[in-house]
Amino acid sequence: MDPSSSSADGAKSSLNISFKEWRDKVSGKLDPLKTKLEKTTFQVIGISEEIETRQSDCKELATKLYWVTERILKKVPAAGDTDKDGSVKDTINALTKITSQITVFVKKRPATSAELMSDKRAETITKFLKDLDELRQQFVEVHTLEVSVQVEQMRSEMAGLFATQIPSNLPLLEVPRKPTVFYGRDDLVKSIVQLLLREETCRIPLLGAGGMGKTSVAAAAINDRYVKEKFSEGIIFLSCEGVVSADGIINALAAFLGIHAKSHARRALLAYLSSHGDILLVLDNLESALESVDTENVEQLLGALAELPRLSLIITMRGTIPPTSVEWEDACLRPLDRISTEASRQIWDHVAKKHDDKLDQLLARLDGLPLAIYLMACLGKLLAPAKLLDAYDREATKIVKLRGGGRLKSLEVSIELSIQSATMQEEPHALPLLSLISLLPDGINVVALPSLISSMSTVVTTSASVLLQVALAFDDRDRLKVLSPIRDYVLIKYPPQGLALEEVRATFMKFALCAYLLGTDQTEKAVKLLSAQFGNITSVLVHFWKSEPNENELSELLEATGQAAEFAQVTAYGDSILLLREAKTRLMKLEHWKDAADCTQKMAEIQRMREYFPEATELLNGAKSLYQRSQNGAGMARCTWTLGEMLRMQDRYPEAATMFREAKTAFEEVNARLGAAQCTMSLGEVLRRQSQYDQATQHLHDAMAVFEEMNNELGQAQCLWSLGSVLRMQDNIESSVQTFERAKTIYDRIGHRLGSAQCLQRLGETLLKENQDEAYKMLNAAKTIFEEFQNRLGAAQCLSGMADARRQQRNLEDATRLNAEAEAKFQDIGNCKGVAECTWTRGVILRIQNQYEESRAILEQAMAAYLDINDRPGVANCQESIGYALHDQGRNTEAVLILRQALGTFESVGDEAGVTRCAQFMSGVVREELEGPTGISAAAEALAALSLRDRQP
């Protein structure tokens, strides 16, 4: 819901009506003061278009200006001479002056988004609001402590004209409009409407954290068409914000209802509500009164209201526990939860309408908190999600507000109200605990709190209970958690400190060091612990780096950071980029060049695995420079090897091989045998991809011997995977499967999920010819893991294999869809081989659909793509498929010619299975011709084709 928009529209409409009434009452020529008031009112109304269409941050200012102008119109009599009334003259002159100033301000539009968001602009708007408040206080309002007195004075001034209506300057009793931006709560609203429409009355509590949308839910329910028909004029909505007693609630309601009881106001109010048909009373923001010194009387009043036979009651309040004096509907006792990702997107689409690839990440940061999402979407009208995400990372909750402040316009104010509540103030340890828990985005088990923070062990349970009561924290499967926008605000305004912070840091650094257990018999235990706590580990370590640790703290913190990053890389549980970036920033300031280079190199490796090659290259060049600065030869060689891996992943094999040889030499110069062995293995992988299987096998066995000698299981698993791939290409299926299974066993033992996924992928591809359903399941499982790692290449390859499985099953619709998805991913990451494979699959599908000409054209396109990257196995497959398509068209001579070329290409790459397929098919063609109507002459042409010696593609 956009409260500022609805308030501005309502105030403007009311001003127009009052101005028309004032003009209708004027008789004769206007005196100079009334003429000035008329011109000023026209000017006020004229400002609205500029504000509403271009400067939404001024809507509160417009609302207040409309309101003050209307009050002045009502105080200036339409008849009679006003020139001699000094107070009226001062009022009109002051209004004219501030209206002119505001007009100049809004007509000078901000040139940039930075100017729109500037503090200077905000200060100017705030000053105008303050000036209007002073004008209101000095000339317009009559101040009393009792709301009912104010009502009576207004009634006297208006000579009884509106004796049965509440004045418009008591907005606390305005029924809110149906929210215009409202998503994710439809089922809840429907259930409330059903309760309200039943024969018996109901008592509904809307509970939850600030900004969760409690008021909007209430507004949506009471504006339902059938609810309005049932209760008609009996809907009463009272905002209790600022009302701090039972008498305050009673007086406000009595004033609204026109009850003139000088004594026994409570009795008179209850009697009135009992005798006036169906009543729906909504008490909004009731925590203001419930947390006051008058709590007991407020509870008693609620109990009395709940006993009225024809009154239904809705309350909204921060917290998770409703008042105990009322028997509430069981279905509504659960506090409002976060809205879904889909609902968050709907709010964004309704308000901002701007999208980019960072939108989901931005919405995730807002953690399903409706107020935060709405406020951010307002900014999204001006700035793209990527820019807002960057600003949010820098400014947190400061950016999530609208100009002017107020409960519904600033997330900070909403959170602060909960923090400053009486319940929080009564437990002094609750806020320090909130600060600590705000460091833990994944939350913490309440039972574990005393051992985690031993210095607070005697008060931590009570403090946690308080946080739950005021809804600053919530229970998520027995874990105490804090919503993301609240965490961001608390960490800035109330940062954790002292002994308790040191205890939390020590615990989570120890958790990070459990990564050392990977590859041991404790792997499963370590993965379970680290995956459950990884978000917390990262958050605590990032906070530690930002606090600028000293030299004494650096060693342990650096070790924990390295292990957390290593765990994330090999298991895909979490993202360590932010952690490594913060560590590098601090290490650079301390001139720890080698450590800073290590962090940079780790970030580059992560980006490489995600196929973000430009980003990875930039990071590697930076790391290499830092290693050179610290004279670290092994580090420089590692960067060169990683650059080679990126080239290999892009099918740039000759360039990759050059890099690997350079890195291998550099490793050998510093006696780094492990690094040299990795280069040997990478050279073997390049040779495999170039179909030089004998040389590839020799390189892989050489590397394997070093890995076994050094007991490096990761290197062993990687070599086995490559050897399995060689065997597969040589059609040695049984040995290939056994080798992949050996590799997967090692990967599983050391907790290397990406390696396990790669083995699963290869096993699925190997099964494609024998068991397509099982192959599809394996490839889909591998794809899921690749996606967790953000490994786009692996995910695309799995999609391609899944498409092949469906093609072989003749499920061509699914095959076409999956193949198109794979091709799009390959194109996105610039993988030429993958694109060529998908093009080949398209051609084969068209052949199955008897679209032979189209099939041949696509297959020739795929063959050209394979030739461009010197992929001879791919060329052979295309030649073979083109031959089959020609045969299907009855063009056997041409078919035999192209199949003969395919046979020669298969021979050149050592693919005996391909050679056998082509030879058998050509023999079949000859038999067909001998048995066909054209007889011996056609067979002779086919045999002549077979005798051709040219075996080159």
CATH code of 498-631, in short, is 1.25.40
476, containing H or E segment: strand 474-476
Residue 196 confidence (pLDDT)? 95
Q: What is the residue whose two structure tokens read 């610039």?
A: 830
Q: Which two tokens stand for residue 888?
A: 């299907």
Q: Which two tokens stand for residue 25?
A: 């009452």
Q: What is the residue whose two structure tokens read 């492990």?
A: 674
Q: Please tell me the class of the 831-952 domain.
A: mainly alpha
125-139, 451-465, 630-644, 660-674: the lowest-pLDDT one: 125-139
Q: Is 76 helix (H, G, I), strand (E, B) or coil?
A: coil
**Mean pLDDT in residue range 625-639:** 93
Considering only residues 597 and 472, tell me which one the structure prediction assigns the higher pLDDT.
597
**Contact assessment for residue 473 and residue 199, using Cβ atoms and an 8 Å cutoff:** no
**Mean pLDDT in residue range 122-126:** 76
The structural architecture, per CATH, of the domain 171-332 is: 3-Layer(aba) Sandwich (3.40)
Cα dihedral across residues 592, 597, 603, 605: positive or negative: negative
21-30, 60-69, 502-511, 873-882: the lowest-pLDDT one: 21-30
Residue 410 confidence (pLDDT)? 53
Query: Is 831-952 the same fold as 498-631?
Result: yes
d(CA 604, CA 627): 14
**Mean pLDDT in residue range 324-328:** 93
In 3D space, the residue among 346, 328, 389 whose CA is nearest the CA of residue 364 turns out to be 389
d(CA 733, CA 725): 10
802, containing H or E segment: helix 792-808
**Does the pLDDT at position 285 exceed 60?**
yes
Q: Is 242 helix (H, G, I), strand (E, B) or coil?
A: coil
CA distances from 58 to 118, 130, 164, 181, 412 (A): 14, 14, 34, 19, 19
Average pLDDT over the chain, rounded to an integer: 83
User: How does pLDDT run across 732-760, given as a tens digit for each residue?
Assistant: 888 999 999 999 999 988 888 889 999 99
**Does the pLDDT at position 661 exceed 60?**
yes
Tell me, which fold does domain 635-751 have in CATH? Answer: 1.25.40
**Does the pLDDT at position 539 exceed 80?**
yes
The structural architecture, per CATH, of the domain 753-827 is: Alpha Horseshoe (1.25)
Residue 951 confidence (pLDDT)? 34
- 712 φ/ψ angles, rounded to the nearest 5 degrees: -95, 100
Residue 723 confidence (pLDDT)? 96
**Contact assessment for residue 272 and residue 257, using Cβ atoms and an 8 Å cutoff:** yes
**Mean pLDDT in residue range 648-654:** 88
**Does the pLDDT at position 696 exceed 70?**
yes
**Does the pLDDT at position 510 exceed 90?**
yes
Confidence of residue 313 (pLDDT cuts 50, 70, 90): very high
d(CA 242, CA 430): 24
**Mean pLDDT in residue range 645-667:** 92
236, containing H or E segment: strand 235-239
**Does the pLDDT at position 164 exceed 60?**
no
**Does the pLDDT at position 501 exceed 90?**
yes
Gyration radius of the chain's alpha carbons: 37
Confidence of residue 136 (pLDDT cuts 50, 70, 90): low
Confidence of residue 150 (pLDDT cuts 50, 70, 90): very low
> What secondary structure, in 3-state letters, does 250-301 show?
HHHHHHHHCCCCCCCHHHHHHHHHHCCCCEEEEEECCHHHHCCCCHHHHHHH
* Residues in a beta bridge with 238: 283
**Mean pLDDT in residue range 863-867:** 93
**Does the pLDDT at position 703 exceed 90?**
yes
Considering only residues 952 and 503, tell me which one the structure prediction assigns the higher pLDDT.
503
**Mean pLDDT in residue range 36-42:** 82
User: How does pLDDT run across 238-271, given as a tens digit for each residue?
Assistant: 888 656 678 778 877 887 787 765 557 788 889 8
Q: Which residues are CB-neighbours of 140 under 8 A, at least 6 positions away?
A: 68, 71, 72, 75, 91
**Mean pLDDT in residue range 914-936:** 74
**Mean pLDDT in residue range 607-629:** 89
Residue 244 confidence (pLDDT)? 66
**Mean pLDDT in residue range 196-204:** 94
Q: Over pLDDT 70: what percentage of the chain?
A: 84
Considering only residues 69 and 392, tell me which one the structure prediction assigns the higher pLDDT.
69
> What secondary structure, in 3-state letters, does 519-564 show?
CCCCHHHHHHHHHHHHHHHHHHHHHHHHCCCCHHHHHHHHHHHHHH
Residue 384 confidence (pLDDT)? 86
**Mean pLDDT in residue range 404-427:** 67
Angle at 12 between CA 10 and CA 14, to 5 degrees: 70
Confidence of residue 556 (pLDDT cuts 50, 70, 90): very high
Q: Which two tokens stand for residue 262?
A: 């000088």
Using CA atoms of 838, 825, 646, 515 in order, give the dihedral in degrees to the nearest 10.
Answer: -120
Residue 328 confidence (pLDDT)? 94
**Mean pLDDT in residue range 792-806:** 93
* Residues in a beta bridge with 783: none
User: How does pLDDT run across 565-575, given as a tens digit for each residue?
Assistant: 988 877 756 67
**Mean pLDDT in residue range 398-421:** 58
Residue 867 confidence (pLDDT)? 92
Considering only residues 136 and 268, tell me which one the structure prediction assigns the higher pLDDT.
268
If phi over 0 gives left and psi between -120 and 50 gives alpha, with beta otherwise, what is residue 478?
Answer: left
* Residues in a beta bridge with 318: 208
Confidence of residue 374 (pLDDT cuts 50, 70, 90): confident
Residue 2 confidence (pLDDT)? 42
3-12, 295-304, 658-667: the lowest-pLDDT one: 3-12
Q: What is the residue whose two structure tokens read 């597969």?
A: 728
Residue 629 confidence (pLDDT)? 92
Confidence of residue 38 (pLDDT cuts 50, 70, 90): confident
Beta pairing class for 444-445 and 479-481:
antiparallel
Residue 155 confidence (pLDDT)? 36
**Does the pLDDT at position 128 exceed 90?**
no
Residue 479 confidence (pLDDT)? 85
Q: Which residues are CB-neighbours of 423 under 8 A, at least 6 positions away?
A: 291, 319, 466, 469, 470
Residue 481 confidence (pLDDT)? 86
**Contact assessment for residue 175 and residue 136, using Cβ atoms and an 8 Å cutoff:** no
**Mean pLDDT in residue range 1-9:** 47
**Does the pLDDT at position 159 exceed 50?**
no
**Does the pLDDT at position 778 exceed 90?**
yes
Q: Is 650 helix (H, G, I), strand (E, B) or coil?
A: coil
**Mean pLDDT in residue range 860-872:** 92
Domain spans, the chain: 8-147, 171-332, 353-420, 428-496, 498-631, 635-751, 753-827, 831-952
Q: Which two tokens stand for residue 951?
A: 């075996």
**Contact assessment for residue 691 and residue 910, using Cβ atoms and an 8 Å cutoff:** yes
Residue 81 confidence (pLDDT)? 62
CA distances from 465 to 381, 446, 478, 480, 940 (A): 40, 10, 13, 10, 93
35-39, 534-538, 810-814: the lowest-pLDDT one: 35-39
**Does the pLDDT at position 235 exceed 70?**
yes
Residue 144 confidence (pLDDT)? 28
Q: Is 791 helix (H, G, I), strand (E, B) or coil?
A: coil
Residue 506 confidence (pLDDT)? 94
